[in-house]
C-alpha cells in the first residue's frame, strides 16, 4: 500500500509540474485568488526557501540516501503489520523526495509553482515531504507516550 500511495503522489507531482511548465513562462504568475493564491513558475536551484543554491550534487546524494532509508524501512515491515500512519508518512516523504530528485536529475533545478504570497513558492513534492514529516514526528512522539510500546 505504501508504494501505491507514493506512486500516486509522485505522478500527481510530476503531472502538475508538466502542466504548469506548458502553461506559464518562467516567473509568470497567474492569480487564482488574487492577492492570496497564485500559480507562479519558479526554478528553484536550492533547497527549501531557496537556501544552498546550486548545490545540486549535495541534494541528489542526500535524496538518494533518504530514499534508500525510507524504502528499507518500508520493506522491513513485517508482512503481518497492517498499513499505518507511520507507513503513510514515509510514503509521502518518499514521493516528495523522488519528485524533486527527478527534477534535479533531469533539469538541474526543481519546478515550484504554488504561490500563497506570504510563503516561498513550492510544489506538490514539497507539500508531501512537509505533511509526511509532520505526521512522522507526531507518530513517533505518540508511540513514545503509549505504554503498550
Contact status, residue 2 vs residue 84, Cβ threshold 8 Å = no
Top-confidence residue, 148 or 10: 10
Mind listing the pLDDT tens digit for each residue in 120-130?
Answer: 999 999 999 99
Q: Shortest CA distance to 113 belongs to which of 47, 51, 21?
A: 21
Q: Which residue has the cell 542526500?
A: 62
- Chain segment 70-105, per-residue pLDDT in tens: 999 888 765 555 669 999 999 999 999 999 999 999
Tell whether the model's pLDDT for residue 149 goes beyond 60.
no
- Burial classification of residue 148, based on how many CB atoms lie within 10 Å of its CB (0-12 exposed, 13-18 middle, 19 or more buried): exposed
Q: What is the pTM of this model?
A: 0.88
Q: Is the pLDDT of residue 52 over 80?
A: no
Name the average pLDDT for the chain.
90
φ, ψ (nearest 5 deg) of residue 113: -155, -10
Helix (H, G, I), strand (E, B) or coil at 39: strand
**pLDDT value of residue 46:** 79
Cα atoms in the Cβ-side hemisphere of radius 13 Å centred on 145? 6
How far apart are alpha carbons 103 and 97 in whole angstroms?
10
Q: Which residues are catalytic?
A: 112, 126
The pLDDT > 90 percentage for the chain reads 73
Amino acid at each position: 500500500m505504501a508504494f501505491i500511495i507514493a506512486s500516486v503522489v509522485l505522478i500527481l507531482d510530476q503531472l502538475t509540474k508538466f502542466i504548469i511548465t506548458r502553461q506559464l513562462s518562467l516567473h509568470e504568475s497567474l492569480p487564482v485568488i488574487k492577492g492570496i493564491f497564485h500559480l507562479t513558475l519558479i526554478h528553484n536551484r536550492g533547497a527549501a526557501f531557496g537556501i544552498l543554491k546550486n548545490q545540486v550534487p549535495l541534494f541528489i546524494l542526500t535524496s538518494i540516501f533518504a530514499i534508500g532509508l525510507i524504502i528499507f524501512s518500508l520493506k522491513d515491515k513485517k508482512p503481518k503489520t497492517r498499513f499505518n500512519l507511520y507507513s503513510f508518512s514515509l510514503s509521502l516523504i518518499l514521493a516528495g523526495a523522488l519528485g524533486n530528485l527527478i527534477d534535479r536529475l533531469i533539469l538541474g533545478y526543481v519546478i515550484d509553482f504554488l504561490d500563497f504570497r506570504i510563503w516561498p513558492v513550492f510544489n506538490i513534492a514539497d507539500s508531501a515531504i512537509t505533511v509526511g514529516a509532520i505526521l512522522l514526528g507526531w507518530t513517533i512522539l505518540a508511540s513514545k507516550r503509549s505504554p503498550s510500546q
